[in-house]
């Protein structure tokens, strides 16, 4: 699978990963776990691009356990960043539709997409190679949502 759509996002991604590393140093365990998971998932995309990794491997490696744990513990995702996504948080035109969303709503969409791709893979002999869904587009949308979340958390206070 081609990950050409990722090419434009690689340079800014390194800055976001450094920021998330720093931001993950908190005493709030659930916040730390969610930030680490976001950082690790973004790293998966970065390394998959560099190493031409298959979508099946990427989907297997993507995680949403910290999100599920945070939900079970009634974590308020506004602790990641209060307020809503503003135009200055959006660095990719495709994310303009998320202006006005808060961290909770965006995390919910990220969680939903990870679950959906894992389920599609399970339903199709543990591979997305022959599925009718546009897996490349699904992965791309997930990546840009996660990048937006990181940009939102990093953005002006």
Query: Tell me: the pLDDT tens digits for 5-59?
Result: 555 555 566 676 676 666 666 668 899 899 999 999 999 999 998 899 999 999 9
What pLDDT is recorded for position 1?
47
Phi-psi region of 155 (alpha: psi -120 to 50; beta: other; left: phi over 0): beta
Rounded percentage of the chain residues whose pLDDT exceeds 90? 75
As a whole number, the mean pLDDT across the chain is 89
C-alpha–C-alpha distance, residues 26 and 32, integer Å: 6
pLDDT at position 81 is 93
pTM of the full predicted structure?
Answer: 0.84
Across 82-88, average pLDDT:
95
Question: Is pLDDT larger for residue 140 or for residue 6?
Answer: 140
154 or 58, greater pLDDT: 58
92-108 mean pLDDT:
96
Residue of 139 and 24 predicted with greater confidence: 139
Q: What is the pLDDT of residue 149?
A: 96
Q: What is the structure's pLDDT at 108?
A: 97
Rounded to the nearest 5 degrees, what angle is found at the Cα of 154, between the Cα atoms of 89 and 77? 90
């Amino acid at each position: 699978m081609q990950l050409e759509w990722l090419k434009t996002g690689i340079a800014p991604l390194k800055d976001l990963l450094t920021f998330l590393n720093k931001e993950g140093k908190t005493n709030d365990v659930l916040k730390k776990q969610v930030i680490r998971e976001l950082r690790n998932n973004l790293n998966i995309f970065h390394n998959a691009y560099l190493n031409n990794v298959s979508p099946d491997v990427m989907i297997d490696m993507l995680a949403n356990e910290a999100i599920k744990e945070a939900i079970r513990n009634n974590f308020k995702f506004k602790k990641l960043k209060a307020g809503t996504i503003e135009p200055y948080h959006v660095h990719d035109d495709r994310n303009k539709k998320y202006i006005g969303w808060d961290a909770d709503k965006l995390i919910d969409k990220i969680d939903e997409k990870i679950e959906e791709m894992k389920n599609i893979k399970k339903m199709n002999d543990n591979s997305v190679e022959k599925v009718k869904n546009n897996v490349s587009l699904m992965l791309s949308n997930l990546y840009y949502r996660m990048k937006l979340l990181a940009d939102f958390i990093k953005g002006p206070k």
